[in-house]
Structure 1
């Protein structure tokens, strides 16, 4: 889904197979040049071990493989890794996401059992885009995606990068390419000049060298696949008859310029369809490895039918987005996950992870399908458990109960109900413990709660209120994340009124 729309070689792979109250205080917030061996940029680490394999995911008929074994996965979408419309700058424009938010999203994806993340790589037609104007590329705009690819590797995630959007949003779309040529939007699929413009963008993108890894994108096994586009279904394209020629032109080009990685056909299915929905001629294109399908709402009959169709044509089937929380109704999550597993589909990706904010709580995002790990309600937390079990049922390892980073930016201030606290949390914390001691002491910590939770908090609102604080007394506080398994992570620095704990750069 787009955030917002209908929901949203080496050897050429064998057979191409290969609630808050205001605080009365001030909140303190805290071009690569070509060479034979590119220098690597400094890459901070949160202590998460990097994966041990450097192998590429390949396709063998309708299944994906990794190191010779079937590769199936659960995962999620994190569309904003290159440019984030949820956090705006002083001028109101979408901002480049902080490294903290990027890492936080991958930690959440990992904790939910995921091993694949899908994101937008089509950044065109805006000042902070990779191609702000036709034929003009600014490689500085790659930096956030560069960092995200390196972070994905550290968190054991593979990536699917979608190269253009059907829907015209802040990061550009197919309409951007046609507007550069003064043509109607439907020309994106047929005009030779526009198709070549798009292919040039693809070439520039996949050949980009990531300074954090020293690898060109096309040589990086963290990038599992490139997708021809997001939700390019013809039913919503006025005046366009879909014959598969555009998919072939784009898929063949991706296969030629990035031969080690897989190609995903992003044509997919209009959600209004229920059976015989995939465009079968597109499934016979040799350069296509995977077909992507989206579900708003979840539908058992369509996932079964479409997976069978893809298998019949020898292609892997991907549920690239689905309504994991039942916002659009439809079938239940557990039956849907069971159907995906039993259909032989390669995997399924929720829409979509929202990270912690740089200040406190979660980033504010509400399209109806947002996923705040591990969930803000009992129902959402039960769904997280289902997702984790689903990942294991596909052959994955059980998620490791990793300790969350220490909370930071802890601030204490008076509220009508006591002392209000806010802090920057971090995945994979499921909740938080809060302790208090006299401000003048250095010991004697008392646990006030182990059940404080993250939420979306406006302005300088409190995440949690100490209603037992006695007026006039000075206190120090500290906070630590608690995992789903109940393990307590590192404590934050101790903070009294008027001070704040620092966050690492």
Structure 2
């Protein structure tokens, strides 16, 4: 079936260094919330309400939750609020999918809610970090130990390809559409913050680039509607991540970068951040692709929260201003949260959580 012209399409597209929707530029403003896809409904809707009230137009949430068997996993207990997406089927001796109410049906509802609130989703498909299973869980399934083997071994690559296919072609029980036809999905991402290094720290960019080539090309054969990103941090060679070379891959539609104050070392984190963001946006310009500041955050000093929050607000304003002035495609704060089922605030595990839209 031929694709509709951009001005008639229900899907976000790129035009040079910008995202566009129906022929009009679409600057992205939003937040990250990793639990949206698998948390109980009572935790999910309040986040959408917060984002909508702040006029955000995008949320980034995990479309991955991998565990060992139906219980257990790389990071115990391997499930979250009783939910899991991807697990090891001991009888079949291969990874399997949980399509039920404590599995992908939760992501179904999140995608439907996004459409209801007119908010689009960016969905990473695996985590580099061990949280929620991640690449480490794939290694555990196949009795492997070296993180590089996630990218290089045929069994892990095939398992990930099967996961991609299962997700993209899943029929949403709330909307009746396959995920690849869901207009509320803005983009798929191969991973959250993929890196590739030897155990001694030597970067291995060629291995990561080959994996990105393979997986993004595979995804394009399955889904002609949605954009594809890598989900990387935007490094210029550090940790095996070569932002500029990733941007040159034809099947990667946009670039991403993540910035946190500790990147600055002894330098002023706000001004260093402006420079860091500007350099990544320029890399996007050289490639002719949008560059999204996909994560940024600021820890508030518990000893003086009022002062810390003022500093955070000033830093956020400076970095968002840099994105706008330098021609960036948008900015997503890490991370926006609401409450637990008992009404208490969602725990601030990493010190970066915000509960209001600053």
TM-score (norm 1): 0.58
Corresponding position of 1:99: 41
Task: Give the number of equivalent residue pairs.
Answer: 312
* Residues 293 and 321 in structure 1, CA contact (< 8 A), matched pair in contact too: yes
C-alpha offsets along residues 450-470 of structure 1, whole Å, 9 cap, x if unaligned? Answer: xxxxxxxxxxxxxxxxxxxxx
Say whether residues 1:231 and 2:173 are aligned partners. Answer: no
**Which residue is 2:108 aligned to?**
146
Q: Which residue of 1 aligns with 2:77?
A: none
Matched, 1:162 2:117: no
Matched, 1:241 2:196: no
Question: Which residue of structure 2 aligns with residue 350 of structure 1?
Answer: 333
Contact 1:179 1:185 in 2 (8 A): no
User: 2: CA distance between counterparts of 1:340 and 1:236?
Assistant: 33
Indicate the SS of the match to 1:135.
Answer: strand
Distance 2:15 2:316 in 1: 29
Distance change (3 Å), C-alpha of 1:219 and 1:308: same
Structure 2: any 5+ residue segments left out of the alignment? 71-82, 89-93, 262-269, 302-307
Q: Which residue does 1:487 correspond to in 2?
A: none
| Cα displacement (A) at 1:124 | 1.5
Correspondence list, 1:407-446, <5 A: none
Question: What is the CA deviation profile of residues 233-282 of structure 1, one whole-angstrom value per residue up to 9, with x for unaligned ones?
Answer: 33587566112111111111111111100001123335996xxx853222
Map 1:367-382; keep pairs closer than 5 Å. 367-373=350-356
Contact between 1:208 and 1:217, CA under 8 Å: does it hold in 2?
yes
Q: Over residues 41-79 of structure 1, what are the superposed CA-to-partner deviations in whole Å (9 max), with x where a residue is unaligned?
A: xxxxxxxxxxxx971001122221101001112100110
In structure 2, the partner of 1:268 is 233
Measure the CA separation in 1 of the matches of 2:135 and 2:202.
15
Change (3 A) 1:54 1:286: closer
Deviation, 1:161, is 0.4
SS at match of 2:35: coil
How far is the alpha carbon of 1:102 from its aligned partner?
A: 0.8
Give the alignment partner of residue 12 of structure 2, picking from 46, 50, 57.
57
Correspondence 1:111 to 2:76: no
RMSD of Structure 2 on Structure 1 (CA): 2.6
Q: Decide which structure has the larger Cα Rg and report it.
A: 1
Q: Does 1:254 align with 2:209?
A: no
8 Å Cα contact 2:236/2:244 also seen in 1: no
Cα distance in 1 between the residues matched to 2:20 and 2:291: 13
CA gap 1:332/1:278 in 2 versus in 1, 3 angstroms: farther
Are the equivalent residues in 1 in contact too, given 2:148–2:198 (CA < 8 A)?
Answer: no
Q: Does 1:216 find its partner at 2:178? A: yes
**C-alpha contact 1:268 1:291 (8 A) present in aligned 2:** no
CA distance in structure 2 between the aligned counterparts of 1:241 and 1:295, rounded to whole angstroms:
22
**1:105–1:272 CA distance, 2 compared to 1 (3 A):** farther
Counterpart for residue 33 of structure 2: 78
- 1:181 aligned residue (142, 145, 151): 142
Q: In the TM superposition, what is the alpha-carbon distance from 1:168 to its structure 2 partner?
A: 0.5
Distance 1:107 1:271 in 2: 37
Q: Is the Cα–Cα contact under 8 Å of residues 295 and 333 in structure 2 kept in the other structure?
A: yes
CA distance, structure 1, for counterparts of residue 225 and residue 327 of structure 2: 24
Kindly indicate whether residue 161 of structure 2 is the aligned counterpart of residue 199 of structure 1. yes
Residue number in structure 2 paired with 1:301:
275
Other-structure match for 2:256: 292
More helix by share: 2
Once residues 109 and 281 of structure 2 are traced to their aligned partners in structure 1, the CA distance between those partners, rounded to angstroms, is 34
Structure 1 residues 271, 226: CA separation in 2 closer, same or farther (over 3 Å shift)? same
User: Of residues 317, 324, 336 in structure 2, which corresponds to 1:334?
Assistant: 317
Structure 2: how far apart are the matches of 1:366 and 1:373? Answer: 16
Offset at residue 190 of structure 1 (A) = 1.7
SS at match of 1:136: strand
Unaligned ranges ≥5, structure 1: 1-8, 19-52, 84-96, 375-383, 385-505
User: Could you tell me how far apart the structure 2 residues matched to 1:278 and 1:343 are?
Assistant: 21
- Partners of 2:300 and 2:351 within 8 A in 1: no
CA distance in 2, matches of 1:155, 1:10: 29
CA contact 2:229–2:253 (8 Å) conserved in 1:
yes
1:122 maps onto 2:77 in alignment? no
Distance 1:278 1:342 in 2: 24
Task: Please give the alpha-carbon distance, in whole angstroms, between the structure 2 residues aligned to 1:10 and 1:321.
Answer: 35
Other-structure match for 2:267:
none
Asked if 2 retains the 8 angstrom alpha-carbon contact of 1:278 and 1:306, the reply is no
Q: Please state whether the residue corresponding to 1:229 is helix, strand or coil.
A: coil
